[in-house]
Amino acid sequence: MTTLSPLAARLVADPVSSVARTPLSRRAVLGAGLTATALSVSGLTGPVASAAVSKRRTVHRLTMTDRGMVQRAGAHFRAGGINAFQLITNDYPKPRLMSHQEIDSLLHKAVAVGATVVRAHTLAASVGNPHTLVRGVSGSGPSPTITYDPAVWARIDYAVWRAGRLGLYLVAPFVDELGYYHGGKRHWVDFRRPGTVSLDPQVKAAGSPQQRAAEDAFYTDQQIGWDFDQYIRDWLHHVNPRTGLALKDDPTLSVVQVGNELWTAAQDAPGWVAEKAALIKRISPKTLVMDSGADGLAVQDMAWASSQVDILETHPYTTFDASDVTRMARFAASHGKAFAVGEYAWSKHDAPAIEKAVRHSGNVFTSALWSLQNDRDLHNAGAAFGTDDVSFRVPGTGTVRRAAVARVRRHHRLLVKGAAAARSPAALVTSKTG
């Protein structure tokens, strides 16, 4: 393992603010705050250096084969992944938009641990509260007017541009099952049926039949459906002034999700996800659509029969283990779909087994740990190592956490290396890379 100098360690922990404290004469800026001189002084090498240097990389649009393989530039593509749900909007310690420096820090850390895919809820699942994208709806019929916060668009534009320069792919869910600060399906219902749903994030459909029934208007109310359709259209057609590209045409956003953990759609509104996937494909035929899993929602219960859905995803926390990952990967492959682990608890005792099962799945697209945080982020700061929601910090504090970060980095490296070994998505391939 490379021994880092004190400055090197600070750069990895928080690259922008660390460099900001260096003398001005050493700040010949290459990108978003990192400098050639600072890097040479720090002695950064290998994957850490690649995370720190803002070197522009080519991002090729991801494509799908009819055999359930994600490809990049004609080659099988498997990539390490990471969740940074708060990439745009963060409510810890209080609600705010992320600064450019905070966005840079998260993306650089993703690169530092060998991730190429960053799943970020607040890129698109952003509705109903200050510092979220969707502020309201007006008008009626199939073409309503959606009101947006321009400051949030500006942060999304920046994050997409910066990720593209770093060679990262961003995955954006359009809506969330849950009602946390960045908003979810209940907020869309509240626009049209104010007072009928609880906006308290502690009140969840899983524990309240009344809340579940009220939230199901998101699936069944025609006007709310039209509102959400208009949002999808607006988001995909939005032109990023930093890139000159509509989001639907940006290879950095090759993959989108209809929503995050939409287990109620699978149970209460069969066909709804397939319908929204078809809408996305009509607007952007080249965009890959990933259905959303959840802890307890198997891929067999998702929109696997839809020709518009390309990737099936699961979230193994407590209900599923490594054997379930293997089983669901096989199921996806048998139906010509790629497979992904969209979230998993990186610090739990079975995380290495889940990572190994992912690497041995020939049709895997990515596995994305939950969840990357900057050092000053207070999200779940007190969570004990080995539980579901432990902040992933790079390089980590303490021997145990640093060893886990090193394990994740190795997993990502082996996952990419194993892409060349995978041949048939119809069966699991035992990788020689471990």
pLDDT tens profile 219-277: 999 999 999 999 999 999 999 999 999 999 999 999 999 999 999 999 999 999 999 99
Element spanning 117, H or E:
strand 115-119
* Token representation of residue 114: 């060998």
Domain 61-420 bears CATH identifier 3.20.20.80:
yes
Per-residue pLDDT reduced to its tens digit, 378-419 = 777 778 899 999 999 999 889 999 999 999 999 999 999 987
Cα 209 vs. chain centroid, distance in angstroms? 29
pLDDT (0 to 100) of residue 421: 54
pTM above threshold 0.95: no
Calculate helix-pair angle for 222-237, 185-192, nearest 10 degrees. Answer: 120
Q: Name the nearest CA neighbour of 12 among 45, 55, 48.
A: 48
What are the helix (H) ranges across 71-124? Answer: 100-112
The average pLDDT across 37-65 equals: 55
* Rounded Cα distance, 418 and 79, in Å: 10
In the chain, residues under CATH classification 3.20.20.80 are 61-420
pLDDT, residue 375, reads 87
Q: Report yes or no: 42 and 399 within 8 Å, Cβ to Cβ.
A: no
- For residue 114, give the 3-state DSSP assignment: coil
Are 420 and 76 a contacting pair, CB within 8 Å? yes
Using 50, 70 and 90 to split pLDDT, how confident is the model at 377? confident
